[in-house]
Every structure is written in structure tokens, then in C-alpha cells.
Structure 1
């Protein structure tokens, strides 16, 4: 709370030009909004959070992002680490909370939502907002070292696998505060990505950077599983002080959600205990107790935990 008050005081100072964007951001929230009335581009109209004053480009030229060059230069090593994963577990189905996307597709198991309406979309996490993926990271030392060298990582990186025939429905990312980078590694033939009003063919070993606050959609019509390295970076227009504050806020929000997930897990465990006690009571003629139902699909960390062991093998990887 003390840190938050300090930041609010700094943002409220009209002479602080560095935090002018955050001042507008704060005023929006004071008025109960997370985005301006008119987005910078109509293609961003479905994005839930928009920070004003950032360049709104659907796609960014890699020449403007020199820190991408090492990923292309060492794409062969990254690919070798990826291919070694085929003999071990670690991939899991991509699940999103029910509230997180307007383009969601109901998950067949009722837990959370999907972003695809055909095929399979599986992911192998390397970093995700301070969550530990020690086993995954240990298997990919080159990839992890390149991610660690990024100047301003958003702390979200994973291998993304689409099986043949997969269609990722049109949707928006959660915010325009970041850029998303794809490095296609295997099975890219027949894979396409639309960002705003243009569709792009994937090129193996070449980075593709885009602003996923713009509406985007993907298809994989090839006959091999398409796998790309995906990672996010803070928007280049953000000042380091802005990134410092927004990172603090993001960590606070995610820690709160993680606590809610832990509390839900505890309630579920208590519910099992109550159910067992009820069974014993019924068999012994005693009073039956009931536990409150546990809502599914609204907590990101709960979905991650539940999906961790959902894939018994890698037979989906063709």
C-alpha cells in the first residue's frame, strides 16, 4: 500500500512528464474504465485494456527490434531443444479463464475456455509471471538464456503447438502494453496468421513481432504439428519507470489471483473431506452435511494446475 501511494503521488504531479500516460490511465480507473472511449485503431476495439499514447501498429519490423537477432541466429539450437522435448512430458492444453476473452470457446471438460474451435493447441511453459517451471527450463538452457537476455521481458514465454487442422478463433490479447513475438521452428508449412486486415505466412527461423491487442486469428492447414516459440516484451514506447510501475501492479494482481487459486484448492480439499464424512454419516444413520460447489474456469492458476497432467503422452505431435 505504501508503494502504491508513492506511485499515485508521482502520477498526480502534472510536472512529471515521464508518467503522463500513467496519469491518464489512473484517471480512467478513477472513473471506472480501463480503456478510452475510442481505441487508437478499430481493430483494437475488443481489447479489454488500452493504454493511451502508445504507437498502434499491428506488425512491427524486426529491424526495429535488434534484440530479436540472437533468436534467429540461434534458431537451430532452440529447435534442437524443442525436438528433444518430444520424448518427455511437459506440454499441456492451453486453457484461459472464462472471463479473459470475448472470442472464447467452451472447453469440453467444462473447466475454463479455449481459443480454438478445431484441432488441438498445446503449450510448454518456460516462464509465466514468476511461476516456477524449473523442470521445463532445465531442459531448454539455450532458449532460457536468450529469454533472460531480453532488455524488457514481459515474463511470458512458451512453445506453442498447433496440430494439423487447428483454427485459432479471432480474438484480442488482454492489453496493448506489450508486443508478442513468434519464432516458427517446425511444421510451419500451411500455417497462417492474420493480424488486423492482413494475413501472413509463417517463415521458419524468422521472428514475427505483432501487437496482439489487435484482432488476430490463426490457421494451420499443414500435415505436421506446427510449433513456435512465443514470448512477450513490454511495448517499446513505454518508459522504464512506466514498466517498473506496471510490473509492480501486474505482480500484485497475479499474486492475488494465485492466493484465490490456493484458497479454492483448500475449499475443494475440505469439500472432499465433508463428502467422505457425509458418506460415513449416512451409512451410520447420522446427519448428512453438504459442501459449497466449487466454481470452475475463472482462475488462471487453478486452470494451469488442473491442465498440467492432462496429456499422458505426445501422440498429438505428428
Structure 2
């Protein structure tokens, strides 16, 4: 029976859905677009990171997500339909290819520094396919890899790995060089007509996580108030998203 309701991680709940750890990329036609053009993505995104190094920042929702801290860095093009227009303008070929993928809502360069791990965590929803397109992989398994649930895969340059972000996952780079991948999120077909709402849910979760880290008081709020705050932000973001896409960031 097809899934009819997305799962959302509102307040740190454990994933309760039945999606697989990794998806069969052969059944996803847009994966071929990524793999056929991986060098285009690599060249433009590396050039972007070199021309705007200040935009490559530690993962900002939770800077302690990696060990050592601040060793997982990202530079965004799209973040749940928020558009980083300045970055996009510097990657015209990349943006043109990404815009051809129905349901794409996020795209970013992800850098994992040498000798570091991304700590086990789970994402905010199972309504999307999370995809890693490896652009520079310093070493194969066991020194560099991705674990989703109990399944472990190594990255290969130009070969996409597509998985369920809601499942607990971790990654590591135990080499002496940076690992670079492009990360994208594509809304699953059964939720494509709800992608605006999916993005509003995930963005609200991101805002709540950042607020909780900055204020211990929020962590002591009753669950009912926490959920009310979450849905308040979700509603505001839902209204603001269409406006934001018209203006530069």
C-alpha cells in the first residue's frame, strides 16, 4: 500500500516509517542527469567555493554535528526552496541541470574535512529522496563511507547514492584530504503536489532546532507549547516561501 502521509521529525522523534535505507537509483530517471554531468557540477561548485570561501560554513543548524566540531561544511544553492541567488548565479550550468529535475527542493556542496565524522543523526522527513553525488572522494571504504541504518556504502566519484534521510545515518572521512559531495533533495512522486508544505515543515523544524540550541528555556517548555511553536513557524514559512524566491540572498 502506497504511503499517503509524510513522516516529519517535529520534536526529535525516532523515525517510525518503513522506507528503505538506500533506494535503487536505477528507478529514478533524474539520477542519470546527475551522473552524466557530475564533472560539470564538480567544476562549478569547486570554483564557487574558491571564489566565495566565506560562504562555505560549518553546518549551521547544529555545529556540533561533526567531530571534531565544525569539520562538516556546506555551501547552498537551494535550501528547501529558499534560493541562494548569489551562489546560483555563479553556477549557471549546474542550476540549469538542477532546474530540470521535477521536485528538487535542496542542493548544496557538502565538505567533510580530513580525519572527521558526521555524527549519527536523522533528517526531518521521509517525503524526499536524499541523494549524494560524489565529486571528490579521497579514499574508498573503509576510510571514507556512509552508513544508513545498518547498511554501509562507499562513495565513488560520479556515482549517486540515494537514501532515506529520515533513517539514522552517519558518514566519515578518515583520509588526509577533503571529501566533497553535492547533496540534493527531491520530493518523492506521491508527495509532489505537496512539496511547498513539505518544505515549510522542514524549515520550521530547522528554526526550532536552532532556537533550542540558543535557549535552554525553550527545552523546558511543555510538549504542547513546543508543537504550537512549531506549527506557528510552519504557517509563517508557508506564506513567505513564494515571496522569498523572487528576491536575492
Q: Does 1:92 align with 2:57?
A: yes
Aligned to 1:202: 155
Instruction: Name the SS for the 2:4 alignment partner.
Output: helix
Match for residue 69 of structure 1 among 29, 32, 38? 32
Question: 2:20 touches 2:164 (CA, 8 Å); kept in 1?
Answer: yes
Inter-partner Cα distance in structure 2 for 1:73 and 1:34: 36
CA offset digits 1:224-244 (Å, max 9, x no partner): 1111000011124x1xxx432
Alpha-carbon distance, 1:157 to partner: 1.1
Asked whether the equivalents of residues 118 and 167 of structure 1 are also in contact (C-alpha less than 8 Å), the reply is yes
Corresponding residue number in structure 2 for 1:174: 124
Separation (CA, whole Å) in 2 of partners of 1:122 and 1:257: 17
Partner Cα distance (1:235, 1:64) in 2 = 12
Contact 1:188 1:204 in 2 (8 A): no
Equivalent position SS for 1:170: strand
Deviation at 1:247, TM superposition (A): 2.1
Distance 1:249 1:217 in 2: 23
* Counterpart in the other structure of 1:46: 14
Query: What TM-score, normalized to structure 2?
Result: 0.71
In the other structure, the counterpart of 2:4 is: 21
Contact 2:122 2:167 in 1 (8 A): yes
Q: What number of residue pairs does the alignment pair up?
A: 209
Q: Which has the larger radius of gyration?
A: 1
Match of 2:112 in 1: 162
Counterpart of 2:170 (choices 193, 198, 217) is: 217
**Cα-to-partner distance string for 1:172-219 (whole Å, 9 max, x where unaligned):** 111111110000001341320011112111101111100111111111
Deviation at 1:122, TM superposition (A): 0.7
Relative distance call for 1:245 and 1:113 in structure 2 (3 A) is same
What's the TM-score, normalizing by structure 1?
0.57
Runs (5+) with no aligned partner, structure 2:
219-229, 234-249
Query: Contact conserved, 2:137 with 2:155, CA < 8 A, in 1?
Result: no
| Deviation (angstroms), 1:117 | 2.0
The whole-number CA distance in structure 1 between the counterparts of 2:183 and 2:205 is 25
Instruction: After TM superposition, give the deviation of residue 246 of structure 1 in Å.
Output: 5.1
The CA distance in 2 between the partners of 1:210 and 1:113, in whole Å, is 23
Matching of residues 294-305 of structure 1 within 5 Å: 295=215
Structure 1 unaligned spans of 5+: 1-16, 36-44, 97-111, 265-293, 301-318
- Check conservation: 1:188, 1:203, Cα contact below 8 A: no
Q: Which residue of the other structure, out of 133, 139, 152, is the alignment partner of 2:90?
A: 139
Query: Is the contact between residue 137 and residue 156 of structure 2 (CA under 8 Å) also seen in structure 1?
Result: no
Shift of 1:295: 4.2
